[in-house]
Amino acid sequence: MAETGPLDIVIDDGSHISKHVIGSFDALFPHVRPGGLYVIEDLQMSYWPSFGGSEEPQPGTTTRVGMLKDLVDGLNHRELTDRHPRPPRSTDALISAVHFYHNLAVLEKGGNTEPGAPAWLVRTMAGA
């Protein structure tokens, strides 16, 4: 990145194989400047087995949609309760918004430091 400096926008329209898209995100997102955008196209491939996808629900991070779902959890990480602990991710404090469109996601890089609900607010059901 010494030649270009921080990136304003990355549009990933690459190999379409989920593990490659996830690898590109891991390599490039750290170089996006605060206020910059990271765009992932062709989300439909996450549902196609021939591209490493699955038609089953995707709670993990092995497909690009699964990765994006995890990033949404990270966006709201301060709201998660101890009943379902989630290990912190390096991106939790670095993504300020996630926008979804048909087969496209746009991530905004920015500070995500807002506090969660106040400690006195009960967030779990009694007896649950």
- Residues catalogued as catalytic: 16
The span from the CA of 103 to the CA of 41, in Å, is 6
Q: In which element (H, E) is residue 38 found?
A: strand 32-41
Question: What SS3 state is found at 73?
Answer: helix
DSSP assigned state of 48? -
Q: Which two three-digit tokens encode residue 24? A: 């590109």
